[in-house]
A = this chain, B = another copy of it.
Amino acid sequence: MHIAILTFDGFNELDSLIAYGVLNRIKQPDWQVSIASPSLQVSSMNGLTLTSHIPLHAASQADAVIIGSGVQTRQVVANAELMAQLQLDPSRQLLAAQCSGTLILAKLGLLQAIPACTDLTSKPWVQEAGIHILNQPFFAKGNIATAGGCLASAYLAAWVISKLAGAAAAESALHYLAPVGEKDSYVAHAMQCITPYLAEE
């Protein structure tokens, strides 16, 4: 399984890298998690530079795509060349958007008739794109999920794991990253946020 995390210049470290850490808890031989970016080096909203693993267009072939967030998302959706590289298809991929990443899903036309989650800053932009925004951390329908608030990226990653490797694997990954002394309650709460959207199918 290959999961690509779309990470643009100006990215929010929490939104791309919490997902990266959680997803990498799965130790299956065919499990690969990649940062996908328009350039080899990509710098965050707070001046952290990292080396991406794959070019942006390669995410179109991934089994799951997490769309990270950042301060330049409005520029991304206005950039036809970048948007054309995103050949995303929920009939063959899981598509998950975090915070302002929801705007990218919306502009790709993939949230038609699906309500969504996003962060408080991005909310008006996503609403302007015609999407109904929910006041909750996570929502999914079929192969499309969205989350709002940086720490909800752990729920988004857990949903991806649940879909690709089962709920037990997601619980184990969440248990690892939860604070000591709060692990059981954290896992129970996180799974409560995503399980209703797994059961619907």
Question: Which of the candidate stretches A42-50, A89-97, A104-112 sits at the interface with the other chain?
Answer: A42-50
Check if A155 is an interface residue, CB within 8 A of chain B. yes
Beta-carbon contact of B181 and A137 below 8 Å: yes
Tally A residues with Cβ within 8 Å of B. Answer: 45
Beta-carbon contact of A46 and B24 below 8 Å: yes
Measured between beta carbons, the chain B residues less than 8 angstroms from A50 are 48-51
Contacts of A26-53 to chain B: CB distance below 8 A: 33, 35, 41, 45-51, 53
Copies of the polypeptide in the assembly: 2
Cα separation A149 to B49 with both chains bound (whole Å): 25
List A residues at the B interface (Cβ < 8 Å): 12-14, 17-18, 20-22, 24, 33, 35, 41, 45-51, 53, 117-120, 135-138, 147-152, 154-155, 176-183, 186
Beta-carbon contact of B151 and A151 below 8 Å: yes
Beta-carbon contact of B35 and A21 below 8 Å: no
Beta-carbon contact of A18 and B20 below 8 Å: no
User: A177 is contacted by which of B45, B151, B176 (Cβ under 8 Å)?
Assistant: B151
Beta-carbon contact of A135 and B21 below 8 Å: no
Measured between beta carbons, the chain B residues less than 8 angstroms from A150 are 21, 176-178
Cα separation A154 to B62 with both chains bound (whole Å): 31
Beta-carbon contact of B48 and A20 below 8 Å: yes
Beta-carbon contact of A177 and B14 below 8 Å: yes
Beta-carbon contact of B17 and A35 below 8 Å: no
Among all A-B residue pairs, the 4 with the closest Cβ atoms: A137-B179, A148-B180, A152-B179, A149-B179
Measured between beta carbons, the chain B residues less than 8 angstroms from A20 are 13, 46, 48
Beta-carbon contact of B24 and A18 below 8 Å: no
Measured between beta carbons, the chain B residues less than 8 angstroms from A48 are 17, 20, 35, 50-51
- Measured CB to CB, the closest approach of chain B to A188, in angstroms, equals 14
Cα separation A137 to B183 with both chains bound (whole Å): 10
Cα separation A3 to B171 with both chains bound (whole Å): 33
Q: List, sorted by A's number, 23 A–B pairs whose CB atoms are closer than 8 Å.
A: A12-B21, A13-B20, A13-B21, A13-B24, A14-B18, A14-B22, A17-B17, A18-B18, A47-B53, A48-B51, A49-B50, A49-B51, A50-B50, A117-B180, A119-B180, A137-B181, A137-B182, A149-B177, A149-B181, A149-B183, A150-B176, A151-B154, A151-B186
